[in-house]
Amino acid sequence: MNSCKTSIFIFLLISNACISSFAMTHEKNQLSTSDFSSPLYPKKIQFQWLEQQQITNHAYDALDFIAASRQHGLSPNKYHYSELNNLDPTLDLQTAQRFEKLLTEGLLTLINDMTTGQFKAKDADPDWFIPQKKFNATAFLQQALLKKYFKTELNSLLPDTTKYRALIQELARYQSYRDRGAWTTIPSMPLMHSGKRHPSIAAVRTRLSFEYPELTLSSPKNTTLYDPILEQAVRLFQKKYGLKVDGVIGTNTRNEMNISAKERVQQIQVTLERHRWMPSNLGQRYLIINLANYTLSAIEDGDEKLDMRVIVGRKSRPTPSFTADMNHLVFNPFWNVPRKLAKLDLLPKQQADLNYFYTHDIRVFTHNQGEKIEHDAYSIDWQSVSPRHFPYTFRQDPGEHNALGKLKFMFKNQWGIYLHDTSHRELFTETKRSLSSGCIRVEDPIALANFSLDNNPKTSVIDIIESKKNTGLKLKKKLPIYAVYFTVSVDKNEVIFSPDIYQRDRRIAELL
């Protein structure tokens, strides 16, 4: 029996001032007054949601709360909404008892789903390693029923943040698109630049008019001309859906336009589900990294202090969703190359160019009975070395070529992941930034170091870097990090959709 069902079972058995016990099973026909004197039935049956078999205000509040679950990406009928609406508890005792049971069961299940998620996080997403929130739905409901304003207590379960409200509004918008029949598929067409004509442009215009209705007023609906007004709408679309913003309608842009409203609704529902898995309190100061849209935010007292681009693991070496506490920084770091990267990435480069290690400050070592022995890279026959016959370890010295750049941000984790600078800064201009081997490269390491050190005026990050010495610095207070995977996010009150680069949303969507 899972935790939710257990809570429901316990809840239904509790008998106190707040929760009434349920009577034994009764006959289907409505009971007469004489039936209450029968030893089979108690003389007076107490109900929680009914008074003399009439629905109470508490029950109406509970039903309204269940009905509103649709606004939050949940299905009211999972919580017996339709059946409850079709039950008339005044008909007979059995119907009244069923109404009581279903409302209690449905409300407890909804409270659990709303606060901790519908699924066990690790079952729905095996790459999610952030501990799932816990919540005692039974205890909450017991206390809520004792309060003066029951509806207020129920509504207190809903997140009251600007970003959450933006997601809910976006969900309602896409639900309305879906319910209206949404858009038709845009047929294939050549690469389209502004000023060109094609029959499929009419379908593009229709698709974009859902989100940018001013298009329907600005130009003829069926025109085949890709005009400047439509180009501006395409650019807005590309920005919103994580595409290269160039105004050109290519395969990627058309594919995103062809994703159905139903699929977009699911994408938002999945994101809301992931949000429910998150801890209630992330801390006063923390970093949140959204792997799906390649961004890092530094938060202090609820305010965003930093916002920067990041590079995450490529699809073949994905970065997991995790939480950890940053505990120290390394300035001008050495890079001890992971063995897998050494064999699969660096060895082929050295085999292709025997100067590669020399020009990139990479040193070669072997180990003999615990002793580390350095070798001259030029003295090794690299063509005889293979991933299967590989006795070496590589280390890159600090400097301009170092793959970790000039700063490394360290925290304990099972994958050997860390945040770091990079010598390839041009990669931050890429739209798709799943390019690393699992670690996370940050766009502005100096700003991140200052935030991590709590902007300590006694520590000059620039001076330590310019010393060119390999230096470690412990944080006075650990800084929580949350690497999440939200393919729908909010940036400055604007909702952004990101591609499901790791195909992690698909698993949850199938469960939904």
Domains along the sequence of the chain with CATH: 3-155 (no CATH), 183-259 (1.10.101.10), 282-334+398-505 (2.40.440.10)
Q: Which residues contact 349 (CB under 8 A, 6 or more apart)?
A: 356
Average pLDDT (188-208) is 94
**What percentage of the chain exceeds 90 in pLDDT?**
81
Give the number of other Cβ atoms within 10 Å of residue 24's Cβ.
9
Task: Please give the Cα distance from 400 to 307 (Å, whole number).
Answer: 25
> Does residue 43 have a pLDDT over 50?
no
More confident residue, 335 or 1: 335
> Does residue 4 have a pLDDT over 80?
no
How would residue 353 be classed by pLDDT, with cut points 50, 70 and 90? very high
Q: Are 284 and 233 in contact (CB under 8 A)?
A: no
Give the least confident one: 34-43, 171-180, 424-433, 491-500.
34-43
- The helix/strand/coil state of 252 is helix
**Which residues share a beta bridge with 362?**
396
| C-alpha distances out from residue 238 to 159, 174, 232, 248, 497, Å | 29, 17, 10, 9, 10
> Does residue 32 have a pLDDT over 70?
no
Average pLDDT (432-448) is 95
Q: Are 444 and 305 in contact (CB under 8 A)?
A: no
Give the pLDDT confidence score for residue 512 in this predicted structure.
Answer: 83
> Does residue 347 have a pLDDT over 50?
yes
Centroid of chain to Cα 422: 26
> Does residue 136 have a pLDDT over 60?
yes
- H or E element that contains 473: strand 471-484
Task: Please give the Cα distance from 447 to 465 (Å, whole number).
Answer: 13
Give the pLDDT confidence score for residue 455 in this predicted structure.
Answer: 84
Give the pLDDT confidence score for residue 70 in this predicted structure.
Answer: 96
Q: Are 266 and 509 in contact (CB under 8 A)?
A: yes
Average pLDDT (381-410) is 94
**Tokens matching residue 320:** 């997991």
Q: Which residue has the tokens 């005792």?
A: 93
> Does residue 481 have a pLDDT over 70?
yes
More confident residue, 257 or 52: 257
Task: Please give the Cα distance from 179 to 175 (Å, whole number).
Answer: 6
For the chain, the average pLDDT equals 89
Task: Please give the Cα distance from 325 to 249 (Å, whole number).
Answer: 43
How would residue 35 be classed by pLDDT, with cut points 50, 70 and 90? very low
Task: Please give the Cα distance from 142 to 121 (Å, whole number).
Answer: 27
Centroid of chain to Cα 399: 36
Give the pLDDT confidence score for residue 492 in this predicted structure.
Answer: 84
Q: Alpha-carbon torsion 87, 89, 90, 94, what sign? A: positive
Average pLDDT (415-437) is 94
Give the pLDDT confidence score for residue 198 in this predicted structure.
Answer: 95
What separation, in Å, do the N-terminal and C-terminal C-alpha atoms of the chain show? 21
Average pLDDT (430-445) is 95
Please write down the HEC assignment for all residues of 296-355: EEEEECCEEEEEEEEEEECCCCCCCEEEEEEEEEEECCCEECCHHHHHHHHHHHHHHCCC
**Tokens matching residue 466:** 């310019």
> Does residue 388 have a pLDDT over 70?
yes
126: amino acid identity, one letter: P
Task: Please give the Cα distance from 167 to 269 (Å, whole number).
Answer: 9
Give tens-digit pLDDT for 74-109: 999 999 999 999 999 999 999 999 999 999 999 999
- The helix/strand/coil state of 248 is coil
Task: Please give the Cα distance from 238 to 253 (Å, whole number).
Answer: 7
Average pLDDT (468-474) is 94
Average pLDDT (134-153) is 95
Q: What is the DSSP letter of 34?
A: G
- The helix/strand/coil state of 446 is helix
How would residue 44 be classed by pLDDT, with cut points 50, 70 and 90? low
Task: Please give the Cα distance from 414 to 468 (Å, whole number).
Answer: 30
Task: Please give the Cα distance from 8 to 11 (Å, whole number).
Answer: 5
Give the pLDDT confidence score for residue 162 in this predicted structure.
Answer: 87
Give the pLDDT confidence score for residue 221 in this predicted structure.
Answer: 66
Give the pLDDT confidence score for residue 272 in this predicted structure.
Answer: 96
User: Most confidently modeled of 4-8, 144-148, 283-287?
Assistant: 283-287
Give the pLDDT confidence score for residue 161 in this predicted structure.
Answer: 86
425: amino acid identity, one letter: R
Task: Please give the Cα distance from 468 to 397 (Å, whole number).
Answer: 11
